[in-house]
Amino acid sequence: MGIIQMTELQAMNLEIFRLVMSDTAAGEKAISFIGGDQFKYELFKDAYAKAQVEGQPVSRVDKAIKLTEEALTIFQTAS
């Protein structure tokens, strides 16, 4: 039996899960928000790094989602 390769979406979701320290609630929330969108993923990673002051992974994801949504408005108005 051969190795079954990951899809690009699976690889992205795995990276998100690792980013949120394997917290399943935080991972579910982040993966759902990002929804396989590479651009949102990149913005979210940056926002998650900035949300370090939040203690728990779910709180940090909430803050990162808020920051990502704010950043997305900049790009939407620039189009």
Q: Is residue 2 part of a domain?
A: no
pLDDT per residue as tens digits for the range 62-77: 999 999 999 999 988 7
Q: Is residue 22 part of a domain?
A: yes
> What is the DSSP code string of 17-56?
HHHTTT-HHHHHHHHHHHTT-HHHHHHHHHHHHHTTTS-S
When pLDDT is averaged across residues 47-62 and rounded to a whole number, the result is 91
In the predicted model, is pLDDT for residue 79 greater than 70? no
Q: Which of 53, 51, 17 is nearest to 34 (CA)?
A: 17
Could you tell me the sign of the dihedral formed by the alpha carbons of 55, 61, 62, 65, in that order? positive
Q: Is residue 66 part of a domain?
A: yes
- Per-residue model confidence (pLDDT) at position 78: 59
pLDDT per residue as tens digits for the range 19-42: 999 999 999 999 999 999 999 999
When pLDDT is averaged across residues 3-14 and rounded to a whole number, the result is 97
Domain count of the chain? 1
The structure's pTM equals 0.90
Q: Is residue 3 part of a domain?
A: no
Q: Is residue 48 part of a domain?
A: yes
Which residues form the domain of 47?
A: 8-78
Could you tell me the sign of the dihedral formed by the alpha carbons of 31, 9, 79, 47, in that order? positive
